[in-house]
Structure formats: C-alpha cells, structure tokens
C-alpha cells in the first residue's frame, strides 16, 4: 500500500490558504512557505537514523540520541531556496547542494543550467526541495542526478503537487517518497497546477509581472 503523500495538519491548512491567496504579500508568502517547509520536514525526516549518546545536564549524565546520517538539502533553484532555511534550522549540519533547472514555458520541459552537486562521497539522505511538483519532469532530472551521485535515499518535499507529477515520479522512481501539503486537481493546458498558488519563485521573491 502506498504511503499518503499529503501531510495533514491544521497549521498546514492555515498557512496553505495564505499561500494560495493572491492578495498575500511577498513577505507573508515567504513566511508561510518557511513554516510549511518546517511542518513538512517533520514527516520527511521521521525515519532518519539516530545513535545513542550521553550528555551532561546541570544535574547528571543522561542518555540521548543524535542524528547518525549525512543529510543533503537540494533546493531546485530558485523557488526551492524558500525552503532551505527552515530545514537548516532543524538540521544545522545538513549539506546544501544546488541544482539550477527551469521549465521552458513553450515546451514545459526542464532546462538544466547549474550544477554544484559533487561526484564523490554521496550523502546518506537527500531532501529535494521544490515548492511545486507539477509535471514531475524537473524533480525527475534532479533524482537522476542524485542517483548518479550515489545517494541511496531520496525524498521530495513540495508545498503542493499535481497528480500528473506524482504519477511521473512513481513511474520513473517508485522508491522515492513524496511529501506535500496538498495534492491539487490537475495541470491546465499551460502545465500550471490548478488551483495552485501561482509561481512560487515570483511570489516569494517579489518578481511577479502583470502580464497574465
């Protein structure tokens, strides 16, 4: 049985409706995106391995647990940058590796333009950060690159996803888990997620144009 993709929580519902609202300011959009990324991270990192350790409290020595795996954050430029800081707050020792891929609006195909992922010493777990999983083409290119690097476990963390994108990821990479705040209805003729939230990068970085 496939695991549920949507991560349900009242706080997720609240901040997601703020993201969707076209009246939300860029500052409020960024804040809600960060909070949603934090909430998604709890689910995406639930199975990280830990090892037992000891710590000295002001009163005595006691046992505890610490993370035992190297974790890599892979934001898909540029919109994925909105999700990096909250993950680093939770995992300060995480490595951040950048991949630049944009969607050609005329063909809806991913275009590769920047790659800072190394070729040796792969991380144990990679979290692909992309606010919108639409066609799935972009994240599949990212997963292909991480597979070539040798990463054994990959998770996709998105704010919203379309059924078409989920289907593509499951077809090409059935072992990769997806976590999202919501699975929307479908893609329109322009391959935009409906109802969606607009262009996450433009809204978060205040570069929207009034040419819709």
Q: How far apart are CA 109 and CA 7, in angstroms?
A: 28
Contact residues for 170 (Cβ-Cβ < 8 A; gap 6+)? 2
> Has residue 88 been placed in a domain?
yes
> Annotated catalytic residue: which of 47, 107, 171, 188?
107
Active site residue 144: no
Active site residue 46: no
Contact between 37 and 87 (Cβ < 8 Å) = yes
> Has residue 62 been placed in a domain?
no
> Has residue 179 been placed in a domain?
yes
> Annotated catalytic residue: which of 31, 78, 103, 172?
103
Contact between 176 and 143 (Cβ < 8 Å) = yes
Give me the pLDDT at residue 210, please.
Answer: 58
> Has residue 148 been placed in a domain?
yes
> Annotated catalytic residue: which of 21, 28, 124, 202?
202
> Has residue 112 been placed in a domain?
yes
Active site residue 175: no
Give me the pLDDT at residue 212, please.
Answer: 45
Domain that holds residue 93: 10-47+70-205
> Has residue 56 been placed in a domain?
no
Segment 71-93, tens digit of pLDDT: 999 999 889 999 999 999 999 99
Q: How far apart are CA 109 and CA 117, in angstroms?
A: 21
Mean pLDDT of the chain: 92
> Has residue 42 been placed in a domain?
yes
Q: Please identify every stretch of the chain with a pLDDT value under 70, giving residue numbers as ranges.
A: 1-4, 103, 105, 108, 209-212
Per the structure, the count of domains in the chain is 1
> Has residue 59 been placed in a domain?
no
Segment 112-125, tens digit of pLDDT: 888 888 889 999 99
Give me the pLDDT at residue 34, please.
Answer: 96
Q: How far apart are CA 44 and CA 127, in angstroms?
A: 8
Q: 177-183 and 186-187 as β-strands: parallel, antiparallel, unpaired?
A: unpaired
Looking up residue 147, the CATH number of its domain turns out to be 3.40.50.2020
Q: How far is CA 212 from CA 14, 129, 152, 171, 199, in A?
A: 27, 26, 41, 33, 11
Q: How far apart are CA 19 and CA 31, in angstroms?
A: 9
Give me the pLDDT at residue 102, please.
Answer: 73
Active site residue 124: no
């Amino acid at each position: 049985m496939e695991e549920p993709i949507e991560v349900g929580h009242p706080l997720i519902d609240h901040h997601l409706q703020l993201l969707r609202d076209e009246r939300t300011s860029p500052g409020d959009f960024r804040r809600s995106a960060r909070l949603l990324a934090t909430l998604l991270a709890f689910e995406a990192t639930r199975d990280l391995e830990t090892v037992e350790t000891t710590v000295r409290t002001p009163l005595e020595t006691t046992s505890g647990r610490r993370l035992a795996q190297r974790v890599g954050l892979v934001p898909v430029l540029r919109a994925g940058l909105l999700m990096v800081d909250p993950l680093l707050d939770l995992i300060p020792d995480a490595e951040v590796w950048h991949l630049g891929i944009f969607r050609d609006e005329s063909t809806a195909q991913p275009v590769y333009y920047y790659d800072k992922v190394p070729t040796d010493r792969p991380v144990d777990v990679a979290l692909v950060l992309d606010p919108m999983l639409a066609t799935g083409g972009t994240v599949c290119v990212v997963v292909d690159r991480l597979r070539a690097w040798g990463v054994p476990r990959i998770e996709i963390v998105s704010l919203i996803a379309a059924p078409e994108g989920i289907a593509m990821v499951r077809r090409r990479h059935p072992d990769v888990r997806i976590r999202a705040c919501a699975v929307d209805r479908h893609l329109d003729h322009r391959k935009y997620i409906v109802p969606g939230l607009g262009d996450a990068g433009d809204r978060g970085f205040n570069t929207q144009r009034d040419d819709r």
